[in-house]
Amino acid sequence: MKTLGIKMDEKIILTVSRLMERKGQDIVIKTLPIVKKKFPNIKYILVGTEVIGNEKDKLQKLVKKFDLEDVVIFAGSVNNNGLLDYYTLCNVFILTPKEVRTGNFLDVEGFGIVYLEAGCCEKPVIGSKSGGVPDAVMDDKTGLLVDPGDVKQTAEAILRLFEHPELGKKLGKHARKRVVEELNWKNISQKILKIYRTISSSYKA
């Protein structure tokens, strides 16, 4: 991580996601001036690339607007081995999706495996009350949930975790425990099999 210019005393906020409007990276960027007032030694790392459109350009313009060029790092695409380094490095993982409507199409976030990946590394996470995120993040148990698109509430959640590191440790430990004990492939496959058997039995003559 030396290539990123990260210093030992800096607090790291991490997002791992494609760069797209629905993912809410713009909301996190808008919180940074608020967070920076209390914690000037922050860095926000975005891992991921845009798939379509020019979302990265939009986000970079937002960074420039708020004079955050020394805070925000676009790390680009990272392989699975490299992801572990980023999860280990961060103090807080955040992904606050929002619903985006295009014509008659409503784009909504699904479950969110990245929350579990961060939880496996015992990192506190911040998500939004949107789509399937509340299934991945248990509010005040494995992470914190905020209203999608709410900059003030999102900033307060980040500050809460920075100001109370013991809370972050508690949430991180609970998150890992949940993944290991509940959300492992053995348990999930058994639940799917049970659902399959229930459905198939209803079609028997």
Residues 41, 61: Cα–Cα separation, whole Å: 22
Residues 107, 123: Cα–Cα separation, whole Å: 27
**pLDDT at 172 (0 to 100):** 96
Q: Where are the domains of the chain?
A: 2-201
**pLDDT at 110 (0 to 100):** 81
CB atoms within 10 A of CB 184: 10
Locate 139 and state its tokens: 């509010």
Unique residue bearing structure tokens 């959300």: 183
Residue type, 190: Q
Whether residue 148 contacts residue 98, with contact meaning beta carbons closer than 8 Å, is answered with yes
CB atoms within 10 A of CB 3: 6
Mean pLDDT (10-residue bins), the chain, 205 residues = 72 95 95 97 94 87 97 92 92 94 77 92 96 94 96 98 97 94 68 68 62
Q: Indicate the angle between helix axes 165-181 and 151-163, nearest 10 degrees.
A: 100
CA-nearest of 184, 108, 90, 179 to 141 is 179
**pLDDT at 156 (0 to 100):** 98
**pLDDT at 105 (0 to 100):** 77
C-alpha torsion angle, residues 129, 132, 133, 134 (rounded to 10):
70
**pLDDT at 8 (0 to 100):** 80
Q: Which CATH number is correct for 2-201, 3.40.50.150, 3.30.160.60, 3.40.50.2000, 3.90.170.10?
A: 3.40.50.2000
**pLDDT at 185 (0 to 100):** 62
Whether residue 112 contacts residue 136, with contact meaning beta carbons closer than 8 Å, is answered with yes
